[in-house]
Chain A
Amino acid sequence: SQTIHQWPATLVQPVGSPLSLECTVEGTSNPNLYWYRQAAGRGLQLLFYSVGIGQISSEVPQNLSASRPQDRQFILSSKKLLLSDSGFYLCAWTWASGGPTEFFGPGTRLTVL
Protein backbone atom coordinates (compact mmCIF):
# COMPACT_ATOMS: atom_id res chain seq x y z
CA SER A 1 0.00 0.00 0.00
CA GLN A 2 1.03 3.59 -0.49
CA THR A 3 1.77 6.04 2.29
CA ILE A 4 2.72 9.70 2.31
CA HIS A 5 4.72 11.37 5.04
CA GLN A 6 5.32 15.01 5.91
CA TRP A 7 7.60 16.58 8.44
CA PRO A 8 7.77 18.39 10.59
CA ALA A 9 4.17 18.22 11.80
CA THR A 10 4.36 21.70 13.29
CA LEU A 11 6.85 24.52 12.95
CA VAL A 12 7.19 27.98 14.45
CA GLN A 13 9.65 30.24 12.67
CA PRO A 14 10.59 33.92 12.92
CA VAL A 15 10.06 36.28 10.01
CA GLY A 16 13.07 36.29 7.71
CA SER A 17 14.22 32.78 8.59
CA PRO A 18 14.57 29.99 6.00
CA LEU A 19 12.12 27.13 5.57
CA SER A 20 12.36 23.53 4.47
CA LEU A 21 9.38 21.17 4.53
CA GLU A 22 9.73 17.62 3.35
CA CYS A 23 7.30 15.17 1.82
CA THR A 24 7.99 11.56 0.91
CA VAL A 25 5.83 8.88 -0.66
CA GLU A 26 6.24 5.14 -0.21
CA GLY A 27 4.83 2.22 -2.13
CA THR A 28 4.66 3.74 -5.60
CA SER A 29 7.00 4.88 -8.34
CA ASN A 30 7.09 8.08 -10.36
CA PRO A 31 4.11 9.70 -8.65
CA ASN A 32 2.90 13.18 -9.49
CA LEU A 33 3.52 15.32 -6.40
CA TYR A 34 1.81 18.49 -5.20
CA TRP A 35 2.17 21.18 -2.55
CA TYR A 36 -0.94 22.99 -1.33
CA ARG A 37 -1.37 25.71 1.27
CA GLN A 38 -4.49 26.08 3.39
CA ALA A 39 -5.09 29.32 5.25
CA ALA A 40 -7.16 29.13 8.43
CA GLY A 41 -10.76 28.24 7.64
CA ARG A 42 -10.15 28.33 3.91
CA GLY A 43 -9.85 25.95 1.01
CA LEU A 44 -6.66 24.59 -0.43
CA GLN A 45 -4.52 26.57 -2.86
CA LEU A 46 -2.20 24.71 -5.21
CA LEU A 47 1.36 26.02 -4.97
CA PHE A 48 3.53 23.61 -6.97
CA TYR A 49 3.32 20.29 -8.75
CA SER A 50 5.89 17.93 -10.19
CA VAL A 51 5.64 15.11 -12.70
CA GLY A 52 9.21 13.90 -12.28
CA ILE A 53 12.63 14.44 -10.74
CA GLY A 54 13.77 18.02 -11.22
CA GLN A 55 10.48 19.03 -12.89
CA ILE A 56 8.57 21.73 -11.02
CA SER A 57 5.54 23.75 -12.09
CA SER A 58 4.57 26.81 -10.11
CA GLU A 59 0.93 27.83 -9.91
CA VAL A 60 1.20 31.15 -8.10
CA PRO A 61 3.98 33.69 -7.70
CA GLN A 62 5.19 33.70 -4.15
CA ASN A 63 7.97 33.65 -1.66
CA LEU A 64 8.30 29.88 -1.83
CA SER A 65 10.09 27.38 -4.06
CA ALA A 66 9.90 23.63 -4.53
CA SER A 67 12.37 20.94 -5.49
CA ARG A 68 12.20 17.23 -6.27
CA PRO A 69 15.65 15.76 -5.73
CA GLN A 70 14.42 12.15 -5.74
CA ASP A 71 11.50 10.32 -7.32
CA ARG A 72 9.45 10.15 -4.15
CA GLN A 73 10.69 13.25 -2.34
CA PHE A 74 9.22 16.72 -2.64
CA ILE A 75 10.60 19.71 -0.73
CA LEU A 76 9.07 23.13 -0.12
CA SER A 77 11.51 25.91 0.73
CA SER A 78 11.87 29.58 1.38
CA LYS A 79 14.95 31.73 1.86
CA LYS A 80 13.15 34.33 3.99
CA LEU A 81 9.75 33.67 5.52
CA LEU A 82 7.02 36.30 5.60
CA LEU A 83 4.16 36.56 8.08
CA SER A 84 1.79 35.71 5.23
CA ASP A 85 3.51 32.35 4.76
CA SER A 86 1.77 31.03 7.87
CA GLY A 87 -0.68 28.23 7.15
CA PHE A 88 -1.25 24.52 6.85
CA TYR A 89 0.90 22.97 4.12
CA LEU A 90 -0.27 19.79 2.52
CA CYS A 91 1.58 17.46 0.20
CA ALA A 92 -0.36 15.18 -2.13
CA TRP A 93 0.36 12.53 -4.73
CA THR A 94 -1.41 10.96 -7.70
CA TRP A 95 -0.72 8.00 -9.91
CA ALA A 96 1.47 8.99 -12.82
CA SER A 97 -0.48 6.72 -15.15
CA GLY A 98 -3.65 8.72 -14.96
CA GLY A 99 -6.54 9.74 -12.79
CA PRO A 100 -6.62 13.06 -10.98
CA THR A 101 -7.48 11.59 -7.61
CA GLU A 102 -5.08 13.04 -5.11
CA PHE A 103 -4.06 11.50 -1.80
CA PHE A 104 -2.99 13.90 0.90
CA GLY A 105 -0.37 13.75 3.61
CA PRO A 106 -1.00 14.70 7.24
CA GLY A 107 0.15 18.30 6.74
CA THR A 108 2.59 20.71 8.38
CA ARG A 109 1.30 23.58 10.50
CA LEU A 110 3.62 26.58 9.94
CA THR A 111 3.41 29.66 12.12
CA VAL A 112 5.58 32.62 11.23
CA LEU A 113 6.02 35.14 14.05
Chain B
Amino acid sequence: GQQLNQSPQSMFIQEGEDVSMNCTSSSIFNTWLWYKQDPGEGPVLLIALYKAGELTSNGRLTAQFGITRKDSFLNISASIPSDVGIYFCAGQPGGGADGLTFGKGTHLIIQP
Protein backbone atom coordinates (compact mmCIF):
# COMPACT_ATOMS: atom_id res chain seq x y z
CA GLY B 1 0.00 0.00 0.00
CA GLN B 2 0.90 3.64 -0.21
CA GLN B 3 3.03 5.16 2.50
CA LEU B 4 3.68 8.65 3.71
CA ASN B 5 7.07 9.58 5.08
CA GLN B 6 6.66 12.23 7.75
CA SER B 7 9.56 14.08 9.32
CA PRO B 8 10.87 14.89 11.73
CA GLN B 9 9.68 12.16 14.07
CA SER B 10 9.95 14.53 17.03
CA MET B 11 10.87 18.14 17.70
CA PHE B 12 12.09 19.81 20.88
CA ILE B 13 11.76 23.57 20.58
CA GLN B 14 11.59 26.69 22.71
CA GLU B 15 8.35 28.57 23.14
CA GLY B 16 8.08 31.27 20.49
CA GLU B 17 10.06 29.40 17.86
CA ASP B 18 8.69 28.52 14.45
CA VAL B 19 8.08 24.87 13.56
CA SER B 20 8.23 23.11 10.22
CA MET B 21 7.34 19.53 9.37
CA ASN B 22 6.71 17.75 6.11
CA CYS B 23 5.41 14.64 4.43
CA THR B 24 6.50 12.98 1.22
CA SER B 25 5.14 10.13 -0.83
CA SER B 26 6.42 8.04 -3.70
CA SER B 27 3.00 8.29 -5.33
CA ILE B 28 0.52 11.05 -6.05
CA PHE B 29 -2.16 12.15 -3.61
CA ASN B 30 -5.16 14.24 -4.60
CA THR B 31 -5.77 15.60 -1.13
CA TRP B 32 -3.51 16.39 1.81
CA LEU B 33 -4.73 16.91 5.34
CA TRP B 34 -2.98 17.88 8.55
CA TYR B 35 -4.28 16.75 11.95
CA LYS B 36 -3.25 17.32 15.57
CA GLN B 37 -3.78 14.68 18.21
CA ASP B 38 -3.64 15.24 21.95
CA PRO B 39 -2.96 12.24 24.23
CA GLY B 40 -5.93 9.90 24.53
CA GLU B 41 -8.05 11.81 22.03
CA GLY B 42 -8.96 11.54 18.39
CA PRO B 43 -7.14 13.63 15.76
CA VAL B 44 -8.51 17.08 15.07
CA LEU B 45 -8.36 18.50 11.57
CA LEU B 46 -6.12 21.57 11.22
CA ILE B 47 -5.87 22.23 7.51
CA ALA B 48 -7.17 20.56 4.34
CA LEU B 49 -5.51 21.01 0.94
CA TYR B 50 -7.31 20.06 -2.26
CA LYS B 51 -5.25 21.53 -5.12
CA ALA B 52 -1.63 21.13 -6.11
CA GLY B 53 0.29 24.28 -5.20
CA GLU B 54 -2.37 25.41 -2.75
CA LEU B 55 -1.13 27.38 0.25
CA THR B 56 -3.58 27.65 3.13
CA SER B 57 -3.37 29.32 6.53
CA ASN B 58 -5.30 28.76 9.73
CA GLY B 59 -4.17 31.28 12.33
CA ARG B 60 -0.52 30.58 13.07
CA LEU B 61 -0.57 27.46 10.91
CA THR B 62 0.32 27.39 7.23
CA ALA B 63 0.32 24.34 4.98
CA GLN B 64 1.09 23.79 1.33
CA PHE B 65 0.18 21.10 -1.18
CA GLY B 66 3.26 20.38 -3.27
CA ILE B 67 3.19 20.98 -7.01
CA THR B 68 4.17 17.39 -7.72
CA ARG B 69 1.29 16.17 -5.49
CA LYS B 70 3.81 14.01 -3.65
CA ASP B 71 4.53 16.24 -0.69
CA SER B 72 3.13 18.74 1.79
CA PHE B 73 4.50 20.82 4.63
CA LEU B 74 3.04 22.36 7.77
CA ASN B 75 4.51 25.42 9.47
CA ILE B 76 3.59 26.74 12.90
CA SER B 77 4.73 30.24 13.71
CA ALA B 78 5.52 31.57 17.19
CA SER B 79 4.81 28.30 19.00
CA ILE B 80 2.92 28.35 22.30
CA PRO B 81 2.58 25.65 24.99
CA SER B 82 -0.80 24.43 23.71
CA ASP B 83 0.81 23.50 20.39
CA VAL B 84 2.29 20.44 22.11
CA GLY B 85 0.97 17.21 20.64
CA ILE B 86 1.39 14.85 17.73
CA TYR B 87 0.86 16.19 14.23
CA PHE B 88 -0.15 13.84 11.44
CA CYS B 89 -0.22 14.34 7.72
CA ALA B 90 -2.76 12.32 5.79
CA GLY B 91 -3.46 11.89 2.13
CA GLN B 92 -6.11 10.48 -0.10
CA PRO B 93 -4.82 9.05 -3.37
CA GLY B 94 -8.11 9.03 -5.26
CA GLY B 95 -11.62 10.27 -4.97
CA GLY B 96 -14.70 8.72 -3.50
CA ALA B 97 -14.99 7.23 -0.07
CA ASP B 98 -11.50 5.77 0.20
CA GLY B 99 -10.00 6.25 3.62
CA LEU B 100 -6.88 8.21 4.35
CA THR B 101 -3.25 7.14 4.44
CA PHE B 102 -1.50 8.62 7.49
CA GLY B 103 2.09 9.52 8.22
CA LYS B 104 3.60 8.24 11.45
CA GLY B 105 3.37 11.63 13.11
CA THR B 106 5.63 14.39 14.41
CA HIS B 107 5.75 14.69 18.17
CA LEU B 108 6.10 18.37 19.09
CA ILE B 109 7.53 19.17 22.52
CA ILE B 110 7.87 22.77 23.65
CA GLN B 111 10.33 23.73 26.33
CA PRO B 112 9.44 26.81 28.38
Chain A residues whose C-beta falls within 8 Å of the C-beta of B101 in the assembled complex: 46
Within 8 A of B (CB), among A51-109: 51, 59, 90, 92, 94, 96, 100-107, 109
CA distance A34 to B44 in the complex (A): 15
> How many chain A residues touch the partner (CB < 8 A)?
25
Give chain B's interface residues, CB within 8 Å of chain A: 4, 6, 30-31, 33, 35, 40-45, 48, 88, 90, 92, 95, 97-105
Question: Contacting A104 at CB < 8 Å: which of B44, B48, B98, B105?
Answer: B44
Q: Is the CB of B92 within 8 A of A100?
A: yes
| Shortest distance between the CB of B68 and any CB in chain A (Å) | 19
Q: Is the CB of A90 within 8 A of B42?
A: yes
What are 18 pairs between A and B in contact, CB < 8 Å?
A36-B102, A42-B104, A43-B4, A43-B105, A44-B43, A44-B88, A44-B100, A44-B102, A46-B100, A90-B42, A90-B43, A92-B99, A101-B33, A101-B45, A101-B48, A102-B90, A106-B41, A107-B41
| Shortest distance between the CB of B85 and any CB in chain A (Å) | 13
Sample of 6 further A-B pairs with CB below 8 A, known A36-B99, A90-B43? A42-B104, A43-B103, A45-B102, A92-B99, A100-B92, A100-B100
Question: Contacting B40 at CB < 8 Å: which of A43, A96, A100, A109?
Answer: A109
